[in-house]
Amino acid sequence: MEAVEDVKVEALTAASQFVKPLRMHYRQDKKDKIWDLVSLHDSVSVILFNTDRQVLVLVRQFRPAVYYNSVPEEGRQASGHVDTSKYPGCSGITLELCAGIVDKKVSLEEMAQLEALEECGYDVPLKNFDHVKTFRSGVGVSGDRQTMFYAEVTDKMKVTEGGGLEAEGELIEVVEMGLQEVKELMAKPEITAPVGLLFALTWFLQHKAPSNTTTTAT
Amino acid sequence: MEAVEDVKVEALTAASQFVKPLRMHYRQDKKDKIWDLVSLHDSVSVILFNTDRQVLVLVRQFRPAVYYNSVPEEGRQASGHVDTSKYPGCSGITLELCAGIVDKKVSLEEMAQLEALEECGYDVPLKNFDHVKTFRSGVGVSGDRQTMFYAEVTDKMKVTEGGGLEAEGELIEVVEMGLQEVKELMAKPEITAPVGLLFALTWFLQHKAPSNTTTTAT
């Protein structure tokens, strides 16, 4: 997954299916203002907890936007190329909840169900999806809504390897993480993950983590 | 603040200071791929807790991207206009941490210090800023890094009204929120706020909230 080569970045001039830059003109309290934004799809995410093995089911993937942001100014050549021997793909690998954009006319629970199957290989009954919270993924440049679910799964529900849809260019690694590992991760000062994962893990530890799994204290 | 009129949205064609849409070409595991993204500034945010009055200091503001996202497809006229009598500005009002983009060559603590003064009117000593976590604001379309701080403040440090920089078009309302109110907010199924606020409030309640402020139980 980390084998990323031939990176080139250029200004986006063509129409894009996913990134639609817009300019909003408006008057607020009698002052004319302008704000630039992008219109994005709403999304769903799901905290998957395998109760058989007491592990959270998360995903790792290469995220071009994260990679690009990790390359310093001087690493971006005038031609748009980035030297991947100096700036390897691993700096763009994130840890995330199973998630996806809402691009079908089905319920949000059904979208989450689809993503759990596509990304993580779990065929989860709809009734297992409990609503956690609906919020905004961003507020500055994008203002899309994300709905987060919690779903308990068992080994029996694991029907495929997961990994995302190859036809859509997805390359996703399913990661299982025990409670002790989650706590260690949360203790780190920096994490290459969206803040939604931090909220999800904090919420999970507070509301759902079995209480008998505290560290064998020293 | 909610008095928003004459809204018109158009495709962003001019160069924008804040939204730079890019297209990244790359090869991953021997497959050629394309990903569209926007390059954004990194940012800082700060959980401000007034220990004199045991209140969190937050901000409310009108966010065009959130407003736009709250207008359904049929509310966006072909001309780009939005009828604000049908879709009033209040649907674009968010609750957030004091925060700002990193657009000066100073330390992240100094950036957070500047925002605490500009937005909330508190002149906070640098040593009060404790690092909470560094993460990504987004991972799909943007991959910018946000660093979150925690700072305790007192009434003595309140030197101005705050409200943001009018020269930069900012119009920010400072909101004080007691612990009981924070708990009630967190119990709501939907909140017009970035997920970073949810992480911050959960983290605060877990690590910093005075333990003697539990509800007088029924």
DSSP character string of chain B: ---EEEEEEEE--S--SS-EEEEEEEEETTEEEEEEEEE---EEEEEEEETTTTEEEEEEEE-HHHHHHHS-GGGB-TTSEE-TTTS-GGGGEEEE-EEEE--SSS-HHHHHHHHHHHHH-B---GGG-EEEEEEES-SSS---EEEEEEEEE-GGGB-S-----GGGT--EEEEEEEHHHHHHHHTSSEEEEEHHHHHHHHHHHHHTS-GGG-----
Of chain A residues 105-124, which have a CB less than 8 A from chain B?
none
Q: Is the pLDDT of residue A105 over 50?
A: yes
- Taking alpha carbons only, the member of B40, B46, B18, B26 closest to residue B208 is B46
Specify whether the CB–CB gap between A202 and B203 falls below 8 A.
yes
DSSP letter at A189 equals S
Residues of A within 8 A of B31 (CB-CB) are 169
Residue B215 falls within a domain, yes or no? no
pLDDT at A218: 40
Whole-angstrom Cα distance, residue B134 to residue A190? 5
Residue in B99, B40, B93, B95 with CA at minimum distance from that of residue B69: B93
B179-189 confidence digits (pLDDT tens): 999 999 999 99
CB distance A195 to B136 below 8 Å = yes
Q: Which domain holds residue B50?
A: 43-75+92-209
Give the pLDDT mean for A87-116.
Answer: 96
Average pLDDT over residues A61-87: 93
Total structural domains in chain B?
1
Please compute the mean of the pLDDT values over residues A110-121 and round it to a whole number.
97
Is the CB of A96 inside 8 Å of chain B's CB atoms? yes
What ipTM does this complex have? 0.93
A29 in B contact zone (CB under 8 Å): yes
Residue A215 lies in a domain: no
Q: Note the pLDDT tens digit of each residue in B38-96.
A: 999 999 999 999 999 999 999 999 999 999 999 998 998 989 999 999 999 999 999 99
For the stretch B137-180, pLDDT in tens is 999 999 999 999 999 999 999 999 988 887 777 789 999 999 99
HSE, CB side, 13 Å, CA atoms: give it for residue A135: 25
In a domain, A216, yes or no: no
The verdict on A77 touching B (C-beta cutoff 8 Å) is: no
Indicate whether A173 pLDDT > 70: yes
Report the pLDDT averaged over residues B200-205. 96
Question: Which pLDDT value is given to residue A171?
Answer: 86
**What pLDDT score was predicted for residue B207?**
93
The Cα A75–Cα A54 span in angstroms is: 42
CA A105, A124, A43 angle in degrees (round to 5)?
40
Are the CB atoms for B150 and B47 separated by under 8 Å?
A: yes
Does A202 sit within 8 Å of B30, measured CB to CB? no
Interface of B with A in 148-187 (CB under 8 A): 169, 171
Q: Maximum CA pair distance of chain B?
A: 63
* CATH code of residue A22: 3.90.79.10
Quickly tell me which residue has 């299916």 as its tokens: A17
For residue B99, being part of any structural domain is answered with yes
Chain A touched by B134 (CB under 8 Å) = yes
In a domain, B4, yes or no: no
Backbone angles phi, psi at A117, to 5 degrees: -75, -50
Do A24 and B7 meet the contact criterion of CB atoms below 8 Å apart?
yes
C-alpha of B175 from chain center: 13
DSSP A200: H
The pLDDT > 90 percentage for chain A reads 80
pLDDT at A30: 87
B57 burial (CB, 10 Å; 0-12 / 13-18 / 19+) is buried
Q: Which long-range contacts (CB under 8 A, 24 or more apart) does B210-216 make?
A: B210/B54, B210/B179, B213/B54, B213/B179, B213/B180, B215/B180, B215/B183
Pairwise CA distance, residues A142 & A136, whole Å:
9
Q: Which two tokens stand for residue A130?
A: 């409990």
Residue A139 has pLDDT above 90, yes or no: yes
Instruction: Show residues of chain B in contact with A194, CB under 8 Å.
Output: 135-139, 195
Q: In terms of CA atoms, which chain A residue is nearest residue B90?
A: A28
Whole-angstrom distance, CA of residue B101 vs CA of residue B62:
17
DSSP category for residue A164: -
Consecutive H or E run containing A150: strand A145-153
Query: What is the length of chain A?
Result: 218
Q: What is the pLDDT of residue B216?
A: 43
DSSP element (H, E) containing A206: helix A195-207
Angle at the Cα of B184 from the Cα atoms of B180 and B185, rounded to 5 degrees:
115
In this predicted structure, what is the pLDDT of residue A15? 80
- A64 and chain B: CB distance < 8 Å anywhere? yes
Q: Is B213 a residue whose pLDDT tops 60? A: no
Rounded Cα–Cα distance for residues A23 and B65 (Å): 10
Residue A193: which pLDDT band, with cuts at 50, 70 and 90?
Answer: very high
If residue A100 lies in a helix (H) or strand (E), which one and from where to where?
strand A98-101
Chain A residues closer than 8 Å to B202 by CB: 199, 202-203, 206
Q: In the predicted model, what is the mean pLDDT of residues B109-128?
A: 98
Quick check: is B191 in a domain? yes
